[in-house]
Amino acid sequence: MNRDSPTTQSLENFNHALGPSVLRKVISLCILAPAAYLAFYFALSSFMLPGNLGFTLFIGYSVACVFAAVTEPAGIAPLVGMLVAGVLLRNVGAVSAVSPSLVSSEIRTVAVAIIIARAGMGLSFRALREQLGPILTLGLIPSISGALVAALFGYFVFNFSVLWSFAFGFGLASTSPAVIVPLTLTMREKGYGNADNLASTFLGALPLDIMVGVVGNSVFLGIIFQATGSAMVYAHAPIELAAGVIGSLVLSAIVFGASRLPLNSPQEQNVMFTFFVVVSITVALGTKLVGYTGAGAMANMMMWTSVQNCFDEACTARFGERLKTIWLLVEPCFFSVIGMTLSFSLVAPHTVGLAFAIVIAVECIRSLVTFSAMKMTGKPVNEALFVAGKWSAKASIQAALATAALDAAKAAGSDPAQIQTGTTILITYLFAILLMAPFAAVWVSILMKRLLKSDAEHLRCFLPKGVTSLDSEAVKTFLQSV
């Protein structure tokens, strides 16, 4: 095998990273975990004993961190390792399942609020104006078409009802910010796709894609579990969309007013950031309580997008770092709890096979649609192919929505049919994560240099005649002149 090929370089980088660095992380975690457990035990007493909720969460968090440290060097999103840790802990009997009514539903709601906040902070109105066509195309067409295709499979293969099929489809269709954002930043740092504004297209389309998936899933689940009469069932979606629009306008007005306040110190910026986080989580939990989660997602997305575009660059950079820190702390607990929700003993073997097949089929069709859509915007074949493969990533959104249906079914009265449907959706979403997150990472790692032009290659097109080296004095003089 050619040692200079992207595949060989990726394998060498993985082998190098998998050595002392990972070993040091694992050893450090194994040393810190007992000390942390003792501290929690002395503070919380019996709550941290085996068989209790505190012990389950602590073991899940600790093992998730270890698995993440092992999977990250492969270029795979750490959340995949965290999910696997939770699934293994549950199915080998190391921990008991976390009761959805106690903790997983609330953890999921808070995690979705943070995911939406980070996505909203990635949408710049300036980038949207400059790349309006590609951003709208990539943000809307793949997610909507993927939702429709997945809904058809849910209806005809899993025998879901129409409403359940659409709830299933919208949750499965979204791409993952936990995979797309790191891959995009790496692509930008290595100097690929910048001249074609691919990074801006990815980051600008991501919030739209997430909003379609989260709001669509939430709206249909809200209709399914609407407790009042049939009239309210039909009115649920219009009410939820109207509430989302009104909430977006109100929160955007609050952000606009807050941006006019003087923030002269980091402490004042931290207070403002804390205010926005509290509002975001309150909106998420409050709308969940009244059955209009989609409206809360829309309002939160617009609030954080307004934050990104109303405050100055230094302030938004600080807000972004704070959100990233919160997510890194919440992530192991969230994904390990999602994994511990799944017990293979409750799932029929044929359901596993069908889930696997549906994920592959949906993503093949969705990727073809993405490729065709990007070609329509004028992208060349190589770029459209790269975008289609990378945009197939599944991770954080599917994990965030995986237990939504199961939690709602159990809270509504433990209807066996609805619980079975929720379990089927859970296992399908987890399969989507385990298959598509690594696929997207490998796709980018292997094909980025083969399908995209580097910034250096673009620059050579504008070099003075006779100049071939990018390190020459003539190039430096040319760059200064332009």
The backbone region for 228, taken as left when phi is positive above 0, alpha when psi lies in -120 to 50, beta otherwise, is: beta
Q: How far apart are CA 401 and CA 432, in angstroms?
A: 12
Position 9 pLDDT exceeds 80: no
For 192, phi then psi, to 5°, come to -125, 135
The pLDDT mean for the chain works out to: 85
Position 45 pLDDT exceeds 50: yes
Q: Which tokens sit at 375? A: 């070609």
Q: In whole angstroms, what separates CA 315 from the centre of its chain?
A: 24
Neighbours of 84 (CB within 10 A): 22
Annotate 394-421 with b (16+ C-beta within 10 A) or e (fewer): bbbbbbbbbbbbbbbbbeeeeeeebbbb
Q: How far apart are CA 316 and CA 130, in angstroms?
A: 20
pLDDT at 462: 56
Residues 6+ apart with CB under 8 A from 323: 114, 117, 118, 121, 277
Report in angstroms the alpha-carbon separations of 435 from 355, 359, 431, 440, 468: 11, 8, 6, 9, 43
Query: What's the angle, vertex CA 285, arms to CA 335 and CA 409, rounded to 5?
Result: 65
Q: In whole angstroms, what separates CA 86 from the centre of its chain?
A: 18
Q: How far apart are CA 111 and CA 86, in angstroms?
A: 16
For residue 271, give the nearest of 315, 221, 223 by alpha carbon: 315
pLDDT at 111: 87
**With bands split at pLDDT 50, 70 and 90, how would you rate the model's confidence at 236?**
confident
DSSP 98: P
**With bands split at pLDDT 50, 70 and 90, how would you rate the model's confidence at 459?**
low
Q: Which tokens sit at 105? A: 């539903």
Helix (H, G, I), strand (E, B) or coil at 192: strand
pLDDT at 129: 85
Higher pLDDT among residues 353 and 410, named by residue? 353
Position 17 pLDDT exceeds 50: no
Q: Per residue in 356-375, pLDDT tens? A: 999 999 999 999 999 999 99
Q: Per residue in 255-295, pLDDT tens? A: 999 999 988 888 999 999 999 999 999 999 999 888 888 99
User: Mean pLDDT across the stretch 199-212?
Assistant: 91
Q: Per residue in 82-136, pLDDT tens? A: 989 988 998 888 776 555 445 677 888 888 899 899 888 888 888 888 888 999 9
DSSP letter string over 219-247?
HHHHHHT--S-HHHHHHHHHHHHHHHHHH
User: Mean pLDDT across the stretch 314-321?
Assistant: 92
